[in-house]
């Protein structure tokens, strides 16, 4: 059996804060195969970004990974234990090497006082054996590939001279120029207007099939996931609560939270249909509810069992997984 590109097992991430130890990610496990797009979905505060940053050890200095946590990256017949990487030179294997990350706000990726070209070249000099001239030519080629007109001129400009959509394209060009095996895309289209969003999604899909990389695509928007991902993992308050193929999860959600996210989406075929938001707000991680972490907002809360017993993420038919007592009692997780 082929090894997954990355295998995350029992990932638990806590932060030391003035208020105490906060659990941001709780016992999360998932794999991504080479060439697969996994969509990680959830509201702000669900732990998506902390999970993603863990794959490159990019979380803040006050982070504590539970000792059971494991992240194994399989690249070039090598098995890299990501959480055991310590110093900068070891971490460079994953940061900008085997893994690249693109962010919602591309200004966060570019130093404002250095030209886009110089930043792209510097990254290639660190992560490849190219000469400066080769790195410059390849960077211009990548800018052209992502549809930036006058790429050789744009190469000499600063990030502030680019429009929002153009900056996003430049960031994708920079992230892909080192040919990473895994791309982490953290809300890459959220700040863009809808037409540019569609262009960027199409561009990413094209480049993924050409480069054959795996992608972890993070978003709160199930509509974007439907267009981009092969499989979906839904997170709530640091827990993985449902996984499955896009078709399974979007057509027939099992977990009440996933159903709530879908009911909150506008329906183009029925503009009169009322939007039904998930009631209440996601609780503070300092006040994690007992039992099922969703029980304080769940319209189908079963009472004592939901409020005291943590539901396990159980495998059902066709490799779907759901963490919900109701689903378990109804037999869907065993079918």
Interface ranges with ligand SF4 (CB under 6 A): 256, 292, 294-295, 298, 300-302, 306, 311, 324-326
By beta-carbon proximity to ligand SF4, the closer residue of 103 and 257 is 257
Cβ atoms within 10 Å, residue 196: 17
Which 8-state DSSP code applies to residue 278? P
Name 160's Cβ contacts closer than 8 Å, sequence gap at least 6. Answer: 107, 112
Q: How far is CA 301 from the centre of its chain?
A: 29
By beta-carbon proximity to ligand SF4, the closer residue of 145 and 295 is 295
Angle at 38 between CA 42 and CA 174, to 5 degrees: 100
- Relative orientation angle of helices 164-177 and 132-145, to the nearest 10 degrees: 130
Measured from the CB of residue 290, what is the shortest distance to ligand SF4 in angstroms? 11
Measured from the CB of residue 147, what is the shortest distance to ligand SF4 in angstroms? 43
Measured from the CB of residue 295, what is the shortest distance to ligand SF4 in angstroms? 4
Measured from the CB of residue 76, what is the shortest distance to ligand SF4 in angstroms? 41
Measured from the CB of residue 321, what is the shortest distance to ligand SF4 in angstroms? 14
By beta-carbon proximity to ligand SF4, the closer residue of 231 and 297 is 297
Q: Sign of dihedral through CA atoms 15, 21, 23, 24?
A: negative
- Please give the Cα distance from 143 to 127 (Å, whole number): 18
By beta-carbon proximity to ligand SF4, the closer residue of 162 and 257 is 257
Measured from the CB of residue 236, what is the shortest distance to ligand SF4 in angstroms? 9
By beta-carbon proximity to ligand SF4, the closer residue of 39 and 311 is 311
Q: How far is CA 289 from CA 153, 294, 297, 298, in A?
A: 54, 8, 10, 12
By beta-carbon proximity to ligand SF4, the closer residue of 107 and 302 is 302
- Please give the Cα distance from 169 to 114 (Å, whole number): 17
Measured from the CB of residue 104, what is the shortest distance to ligand SF4 in angstroms? 28
Residue 16 in tokens = 């030391």
Name 232's Cβ contacts closer than 8 Å, sequence gap at least 6. Answer: 38, 39, 40, 41, 222, 225, 242, 243, 244, 245, 246, 249, 250
By beta-carbon proximity to ligand SF4, the closer residue of 95 and 297 is 297
């Amino acid at each position: 059996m082929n090894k997954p590109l990355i295998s995350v097992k029992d990932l638990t991430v806590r932060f030391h804060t003035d208020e105490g130890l906060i659990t941001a990610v709780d016992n999360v496990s998932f794999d991504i195969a080479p060439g697969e797009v996994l969509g990680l979905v959830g509201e702000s505060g669900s732990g998506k970004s902390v999970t993603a940053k863990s794959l490159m050890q990019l979380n803040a200095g006050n982070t504590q990974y539970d000792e059971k946590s494991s992240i194994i990256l399989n690249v070039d017949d090598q098995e890299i234990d990501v959480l055991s990487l310590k110093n900068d030179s070891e971490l460079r294997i994953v940061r900008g090497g085997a893994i690249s990350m693109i962010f919602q706000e591309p200004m966060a990726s570019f130093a404002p006082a250095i030209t886009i070209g110089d930043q792209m070249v510097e990254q290639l000099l660190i992560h490849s054996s190219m000469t400066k001239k080769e790195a410059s030519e390849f960077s211009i080629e990548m800018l052209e590939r992502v549809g930036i007109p006058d790429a050789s001129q744009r190469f000499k400009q600063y990030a502030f001279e680019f429009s929002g959509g153009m900056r996003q394209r430049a960031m994708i060009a920079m992230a892909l120029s080192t040919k990473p095996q895994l791309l982490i895309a953290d809300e890459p289209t959220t700040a863009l207007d809808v037409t540019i969003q569609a262009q960027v999604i199409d561009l990413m899909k094209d480049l993924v099939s050409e480069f054959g990389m795996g992608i972890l695509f993070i978003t709160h928007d199930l509509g974007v996931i439907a267009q981009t991902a092969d499989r979906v993992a839904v997170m709530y308050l640091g827990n993985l609560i449902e996984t499955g193929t896009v078709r399974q999860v979007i057509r027939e959600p099992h977990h009440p939270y996933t159903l709530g996210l879908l009911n909150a989406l506008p329906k183009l075929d029925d503009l009169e249909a009322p939007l039904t938001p998930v009631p209440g707000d996601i609780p503070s991680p300092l006040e994690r509810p007992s039992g099922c972490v969703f029980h304080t907002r769940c319209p189908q809360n079963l009472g004592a069992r939901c409020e005291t017993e943590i539901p396990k993420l159980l495998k059902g038919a066709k490799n779907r997984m759901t963490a919900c007592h109701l689903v378990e009692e109804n037999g869907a997780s065993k079918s």
